[in-house]
Structure formats: structure tokens, C-alpha cells
Copies of this chain bind each other. A is one copy, B any other.
Amino acid sequence: MHAQQMISTHPQERGQTGAALIHCIEECYDCAQTCTACADACLGESMVQSLTQCIRTCLDCADVCVATGTLATRRTGSNVELVTAMLEVCEDACRSCARECERHMDRMPHCRICAEACRRCEAACREAAGAMSPTLQ
């Protein structure tokens, strides 16, 4: 992705966007795609009946990740509080989805890959939110 390159050419950036936020933006878009794919793969399984909670958490996580990646991409003006709050919700959504996918990952390889993507995005959101909070003080 081009998150790093784009931020380096932003007229209102003066080096404030740390590596943590840039990494997090990329993880959010990746996790959105992976969760969309996992929801759909679960839907295609013969045991779909036992995967409905997993489909639900994957769909929710995909929606939250796209919204978070989009908000975090915008650097004009200031909305540090909103981006930080959104990163925290995204961390929660990723954790929930990872936990649900981990319950099925022995039998469902797509759930294993999805759980890994969610855990990475969860960590990236936590680090990005932590890196932003000093600017809130």
C-alpha cells in the first residue's frame, strides 16, 4: 500500500504521523479484506449453522476496519480524539473477531488466517492509539 508515500506528501504533515499510525492504516485495510473473505468462506461451509456468530463478528470487524482505516488516513484539520476513540473500537472489534475465529481454526484454515490478521490489526490499533494519546494531553 501507499500509506507511507501519501502521508509524506501531505501539505499539513510535519512529521507528526508516526510509523505506528501508518502501519495501523495498512493493517486496517488488510483486516477488512480478510474478514470479508472469512465471513464468505464460513458461509460456504457445510457446517454454516455453527459458524453464524463467526460470520457476524467478521462482518462487523470488516465494517469497523474500513471506517477506521479511512478516518486514520485523513490528516487535514484535527480530530485526534475521534481517531483515537475509533482505534480503540477497532482494537475491540479485532479482538472479538480473533477470539471467535480461534475457536474454529483447527478445522477452518480461513479462520486461522483471519484470526492472525485480526490479532495483528488489534496490536497495530493499540500501538497507534498509544502513540496518539500524548498529543491529547
Query: How many monomers of this protein are in the complex?
Result: 4
Bitwise, A70-91 to B at CB < 8 A (1) or not (0) is 1101111111011001101100
Task: Verify if A41 is at the interface (C-beta below 8 Å from B).
Answer: yes
Inter-chain contact B77/A56, CB cutoff 8 Å: yes
Inter-chain contact B37/A6, CB cutoff 8 Å: yes
Inter-chain contact B76/A52, CB cutoff 8 Å: yes
A28 CB to closest chain B CB (Å) equals 9
A119 CB to closest chain B CB (Å) equals 13
In this complex, the interface size class of chain A, counting residues with CB under 8 Å from chain B, is: 35 or more
Given contacts A34-B2, A60-B82, A73-B33, whether A44 and B10 have CB atoms under 8 Å apart is yes
Nearest residue in B to A56 (C-beta to C-beta)? B77
Task: Verify if A53 is at the interface (C-beta below 8 Å from B).
Answer: yes
Task: Verify if A43 is at the interface (C-beta below 8 Å from B).
Answer: yes
Given contacts A6-B34, A66-B66, whether A43 and B89 have CB atoms under 8 Å apart is no
Nearest residue in B to A11 (C-beta to C-beta)? B44
The 6 closest A-B pairs by CB, nearest first: A6-B37, A67-B67, A9-B109, A53-B77, A12-B44, A56-B77
